[in-house]
């Protein structure tokens, strides 16, 4: 019976399984395929998530998002050629000034959309309408889950939203609130983080360098000299002792105890280490991740 079933599908011998080369998710080029921008010249990957871990870019993004959240929003109705009045009775007034939806205040909605706008170059919100077509709610959308393309017939933008379970759905411009930034694309803005990724990558590298420098007590390393060769056991014990007793700011100034004629020769700070603070200040001026002024970043 087994041979009969196998004969229905041709060769009874299964084809050998073939697999391509495996890559780690930590590989920067795999990250580039999955949506990240890949490695910078400084050697670090810069994306929307990692940019928020950089103090300079985080400050710029936070300032823009919080500023938009704090600004009052009013709706106006045109009453004449040059006259206007507040339209507090408009259905959209409560959405933009009070509550965007039952669980999101209007200020928080502006904070979310403004944060995505500052980092990704685009902020989105889904417009929920009642049975009569009037706007009833606005729900903030993750800019990383929204794609914009052009309708080939009408040339209008089409917004493809991906849900948490991986399903996609297309919406027209009537259903999507879109705030876009500067960019060459006709329908969406360019990400300031991607545009300034080299500056952000250098700032992140400098932060790591400063953290390591002060983690060693803000002093350069040195050379331990011994007249004889040391065994692996002695080297391990020596390394553990130095890490526990002489590394870090809390251990700064401790008296060093050496054994068996061992001497310690300290190394001098290099010109790069001595100018680290000035270099980091320069990066703060050159890292306006979202267009905020250099004085605020």
Read off the pLDDT of residues 121-155 as tens digits, 9 standing for 90 and up. 999 999 999 998 899 999 999 999 999 999 999 99
What is the percent of the chain where pLDDT is above 90? Answer: 34
Residue 204 lies in a domain: no
Residue 108 lies in a domain: yes
Residue 55 lies in a domain: yes
DSSP designation for 221: -
Residue 120 lies in a domain: yes
Phi, psi at 167, each rounded to 5°: -80, 150
Number of residues written out for the chain: 297
- Count Cβ atoms below 10 Å from residue 262 Cβ, excluding itself: 15
Would you place residue 294 in the very low, low, confident or very high pLDDT band (cuts 50, 70, 90)? Answer: very low
- Count Cβ atoms below 10 Å from residue 272 Cβ, excluding itself: 9
DSSP designation for 161: E
Residue 144 lies in a domain: yes
Rounded Cα distance between 172 and 126, Å, is: 10
Rounded Cα distance between 297 and 291, Å, is: 10
Residue 81 lies in a domain: yes
pTM of the model: 0.67
Residue 262 lies in a domain: no
Rounded Cα distance between 191 and 49, Å, is: 13
Q: What is the pLDDT of residues 26-56, one digit of tens each?
A: 454 455 455 455 677 777 888 888 888 888 8
Residue 107 lies in a domain: yes
For residue 120, the enclosing domain spans: 39-195
Q: Which residues, other chains included, contact 85 with Cβ-Cβ below 8 Å and sequence gap of 6+?
A: 76, 77, 79
- Number of structural domains (the chain) is 1
What's the sign of the alpha-carbon dihedral 21, 27, 33, 39? negative
């Amino acid at each position: 019976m087994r041979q009969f079933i196998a004969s229905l599908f041709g060769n009874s011998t299964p084809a050998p399984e073939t697999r391509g080369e495996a890559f780690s998710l930590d590989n920067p080029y795999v990250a580039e395929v999955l949506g990240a921008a890949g490695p910078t010249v400084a050697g670090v990957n810069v994306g929307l998530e990692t940019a928020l871990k950089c103090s300079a870019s985080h400050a710029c993004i936070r300032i823009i998002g919080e500023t938009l959240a704090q600004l009052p929003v009013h709706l106006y109705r045109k009453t004449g050629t040059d006259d206007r009045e507040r339209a507090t009775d408009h259905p959209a007034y409560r959405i933009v000034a009070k509550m965007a939806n039952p669980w999101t205040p209007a200020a928080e909605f502006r904070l979310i959309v403004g944060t995505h706008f500052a980092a990704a170059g685009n902020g989105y919100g889904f417009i929920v309408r009642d049975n009569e077509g009037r706007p009833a709610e606005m729900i903030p959308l993750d800019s990383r889950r929204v794609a914009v393309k052009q309708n080939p017939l009408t040339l209008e933008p089409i917004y493809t939203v991906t849900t948490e379970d991986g399903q996609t759905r297309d919406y027209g411009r009537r259903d999507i609130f879109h705030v876009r930034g500067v960019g060459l694309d006709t329908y969406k803005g360019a990400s300031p983080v991607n545009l300034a990724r080299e500056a952000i990558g250098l700032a992140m590298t400098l932060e790591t360098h400063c953290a390591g420098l002060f983690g060693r007590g803000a002093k350069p390393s040195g050379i331990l000299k011994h007249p004889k060769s040391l065994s692996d056991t002695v080297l391990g014990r020596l390394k553990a002792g130095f890490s526990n007793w002489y590394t870090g700011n809390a251990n700064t100034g401790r008296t060093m105890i050496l054994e068996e004629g061992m001497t310690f020769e300290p190394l001098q700070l290099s010109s790069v280490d001595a100018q680290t603070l000035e270099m980091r200040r320069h990066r703060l001026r050159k890292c306006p991740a979202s267009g905020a002024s250099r004085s605020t970043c």
